[in-house]
Structure 1
Amino acid sequence: MSTLGLPAWLPFANRVVRGLNRLGLRLGTIHVLTVAGRRSGVPRPTPVSPLTLSGHRYVVAGLPEGDWARNVRAAGRGELSAGRRSVPVTLHEVQDPQVKQRVMRAFPKEVPGGVPFFVKLGLVGRGDPEEFAAAADRVAVFEIAGGGRPD
């Protein structure tokens, strides 16, 4: 594990996912969210897995103070890509603890491929929805608005 709690292999895996996305290949629920860097303004792409709950789309940052979450807070907008299709989006951090709990409770069912990542971060021990809901205060949840859907 790296010093931020991220697996050491994650930067390499993210590069592979971004490359496959540029080629038009999809990996499950994974999209690429590109936002401007908060200091440099340079576009920063990161793989994310949006989920839909009650007609609203969300992404979850397992490390709320990780670079991509801080960049989203600073930029408030970006581009969401699925394969070769991209749409502009705005992102708003969810503050309501009940909404965050509902999103996290839905996460293991809606994004089953993301469960091992949250286990590796130590946020949950397994894919239990109630365990995910209990971790809601330790993650950042962003609502995705506008732009339609790239998929």
Structure 2
Amino acid sequence: MVEPKPALPSWLPVANRVVRALNRLGLSLGTIEVLTVPGRRSGKPRTTPVSPLTVDGCRYVVAAAPRSDWAGNVRAAGRGVLARGRRRSDVTLTEIDDPAVARAVLRAFPAEVPTGVPFFVQLGLVERADPHQFEAIADRVAVFRID
């Protein structure tokens, strides 16, 4: 059975627009970068803020809502552009299907991306910034490796 899309916070679209606008001005916010990928239906560029993290020398990004539009676009395109301020990088994105790797990435998430923890709490995925709680949700979120 396919899990339904979680109800995302009502403030998220406004926050995403603000982050994208600041990024276009050359400003960066903490760990946040802006990912642009082609839309899976339209092919038009679609942007979303993400917070990459590094684990064992590899970069990853986590989709707390694995059925979100941006995660679906990443799966379809497999490529995109990451922007941090004025710096842009073409990237390949590969969904991780190895549970051990996904667990390791999620275990590192609270320390690597502490500002992202409240989002996971608000979605009801974890109760706090506990690496063990994050590791336990590895089968409920999507993890993409950035190359």
Unaligned runs of 5+ in 2: none
1:30 pairs with one of 29, 32, 37:
32
2:77 maps to which residue?
Answer: 75
Q: TM-score normalized by structure 1?
A: 0.93
1:149 maps to which residue?
Answer: none
Aligned-pair Cα RMSD in Å? 0.8
SS at match of 2:60: strand
2:21 pairs with one of 19, 22, 38:
19
Percent same amino acid among aligned pairs?
A: 69
- Say whether 1:112 aligns with 2:114: yes
2:93 pairs with one of 67, 91, 94:
91
2:144 maps to which residue?
Answer: 142
Structure 1: 4+ residue segments shifted above 4 A: none
Write the deviation string for residues 2-61 of structure 1: whole angstroms up to 9, x where unpaired: x74100010000000000000011110000000000000010000000000111000000
- Say whether 1:65 aligns with 2:67: yes
1:30 and 1:36 mapped to 2: Cα distance? 20
Q: TM-score normalized by structure 2?
A: 0.96
Contact 2:6/2:123 (<8 A) preserved: no
The number of aligned residues is 143
Unaligned runs of 5+ in 1: 146-151
